[in-house]
């Protein structure tokens, strides 16, 4: 069996064009296998990013037949098409061909302080001789969000990210929720202040595309809604003046 692989090629000098390659495939061949076939046997100059080949590293994300997917996790046979179109992820600047620049994505993630902050207790989180015990239901609150592999598919699918360059994107917001809801974390107020503004959490209009494309079963749209409910809960309690963005604008 063979399939036509139509790949968007880009270089700053030559601009964009599509190249089509006929590639042999088997029932189990992934889109990444097909791209690596092209790179190995037809055109060595093809640029793409990958590493683990097992949906763990998050580096092979691209648009495959119009949908953000992991190339290593997408079998050609399951696409039911004679033509597979591979394009770089939208909402990311293209470096070359299918390789995109993730700088802004990772900066947004970093800005959410994706680590546990525990300043109000004398128990140091890095003290290896002591445990910080969590009950199963406390772990359950953040568990699904901890499966994120930072592949950027949700960010590529998000219409708000496409419109507002200052919006942190679904991945960063969901990771904010992951740490904020962790029973070991003590920095809720500090965290919520970061996203309680016109380009922050309120910008999401709940298209839900992020959750539709996540290959790890994370539901970033849910994380965003839960963060919102947390903010609104604060407003009701009237405890945190710094986060009352909606009532003051
Ligand atoms: S939430 Fe899902 S789609 Fe978004 S970066 Fe994480 S793993 Fe990828
Ligand atoms: S190569 Fe690592 S996720 Fe696809």
Confidence of residue 6 (pLDDT cuts 50, 70, 90): very high
**In a shared domain, residues 183 and 132:** yes
**Closest C-alpha to 188, from 243, 141, 147, 140:** 243
Residue 157 has pLDDT above 80, yes or no: yes
**In a shared domain, residues 127 and 225:** yes
pLDDT at 219 (0 to 100): 97
Pocket of ligand 1 (CB under 6 A): 148-154, 171, 174, 213-214, 216, 218, 220
In angstroms, what is the span from residue 148 Cα to ligand 2's centroid? 13
Question: Average pLDDT, stretch 150-161?
Answer: 98
Confidence of residue 209 (pLDDT cuts 50, 70, 90): very high
Question: Average pLDDT, stretch 169-181?
Answer: 96
| Separation CA 210–CA 170 (nearest Å) | 7
pLDDT at 241 (0 to 100): 39
Residue 88 has pLDDT above 70, yes or no: yes
Question: Average pLDDT, stretch 61-89?
Answer: 97
pTM, entire model? 0.90
- Ligand nearest, relative to CA of residue 209: 1
**Closest C-alpha to 37, from 20, 25, 54, 19:** 25
Give, for ligand 1, the residue of 72, 100, 214 to mutate: max count of ligand atoms closer than 8 Å to Cβ.
Answer: 214
Token output for 158: 């998000």
Residue 243 has pLDDT above 60, yes or no: no
More confident call, 138 vs 125: 138
In angstroms, what is the span from residue 17 Cα to ligand 2's centroid? 25
In angstroms, what is the span from residue 168 Cα to ligand 2's centroid? 23
Per residue in 36-71, pLDDT tens? 999 999 999 999 999 999 999 999 999 999 999 999
**In a shared domain, residues 111 and 217:** yes
Q: Looking at the 3D structure of the chain, how many domains does it have?
A: 2
- Helix extents (H) in 92-243: 103-111, 136-143, 153-157, 159-163, 170-180, 188-195, 209-213, 220-237
Structural domain span for residue 201:
102-248
* Domain termination site, one of 99, 134, 160: 99
Residue 126 has pLDDT above 60, yes or no: yes
**In a shared domain, residues 110 and 79:** no
Token output for 137: 């239901």
Percent of the chain topping pLDDT 70:
89
| Separation CA 84–CA 18 (nearest Å) | 12
CATH number at residue 94: 3.10.20.30
Residue 151 makes CB contacts below 8 A (sequence gap 6+) with 58, 59, 60, 61, 70, 215, 216
More confident call, 187 vs 129: 187
* Domain termination site, one of 80, 99, 118: 99
3-state secondary structure of 30: strand
**In a shared domain, residues 37 and 57:** yes
Ligand 2 neighbourhood includes 33 CB (under 6 angstroms): no
**In a shared domain, residues 63 and 114:** no
**In a shared domain, residues 83 and 42:** yes
In angstroms, what is the span from residue 32 Cα to ligand 2's centroid? 9
Q: What is the four-CA torsion angle of 182, 185, 190, 195, rounded to 10 degrees?
A: -20
Structural contact between residues 194 and 231, judged by C-beta atoms closer than 8 angstroms: no
Residue 197 has pLDDT above 70, yes or no: yes
**In a shared domain, residues 224 and 194:** yes
**In a shared domain, residues 113 and 232:** yes
CATH number at residue 241: 1.10.1060.10
* Domain termination site, one of 69, 99, 129: 99
Residue 245 has pLDDT above 50, yes or no: no
| Separation CA 29–CA 32 (nearest Å) | 8
Ligand 2 neighbourhood includes 60 CB (under 6 angstroms): yes
pLDDT at 248 (0 to 100): 41
In angstroms, what is the span from residue 246 Cα to ligand 1's centroid? 28
- Ligand nearest, relative to CA of residue 148: 1
**In a shared domain, residues 207 and 107:** yes
3-state secondary structure of 97: coil
**In a shared domain, residues 65 and 118:** no
- Ligand nearest, relative to CA of residue 172: 1
Name the average pLDDT for the chain.
90
**In a shared domain, residues 148 and 177:** yes
């Amino acid at each position: 069996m063979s399939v036509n692989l139509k790949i968007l090629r880009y270089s700053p000098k030559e601009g964009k064009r599509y190249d089509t390659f006929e590639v042999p495939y088997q029932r189990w061949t992934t889109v990444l296998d097909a791209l690596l076939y092209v790179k190995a046997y037809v055109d060595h100059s093809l640029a793409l990013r990958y590493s683990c080949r097992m949906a763990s590293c998050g580096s092979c994300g691209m648009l495959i037949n119009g949908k953000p997917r992991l190339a290593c996790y997408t079998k050609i046979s399951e696409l039911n098409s004679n033509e597979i179109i591979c394009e770089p992820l939208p909402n990311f600047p293209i470096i070359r061909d299918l390789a995109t620049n993730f700088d802004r994505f990772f900066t947004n993630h970093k800005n959410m302080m994706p680590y546990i902050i525990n300043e109000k207790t004398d128990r140091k989180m890095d003290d290896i001789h002591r445990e910080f015990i969590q009950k199963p239901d406390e772990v359950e609150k953040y568990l699904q969000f901890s499966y994120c592999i930072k592949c950027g598919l949700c960010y590529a699918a998000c219409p708000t990210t496409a419109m507002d360059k200052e919006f942190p994107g679904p991945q960063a917001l969901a990771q904010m929720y992951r740490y904020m809801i962790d029973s070991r974390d003590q920095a809720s107020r500090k965290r919520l202040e970061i996203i309680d503004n016109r380009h922050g959490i309120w910008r999401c209009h709940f298209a839900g595309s992020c959750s539709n494309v996540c290959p790890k079963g994370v539901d970033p749209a849910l994380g965003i809604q839960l963060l919102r409910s947390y903010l609104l809960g604060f407003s009701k309690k009237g405890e945190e003046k710094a986060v009352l963005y909606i009532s003051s604008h």
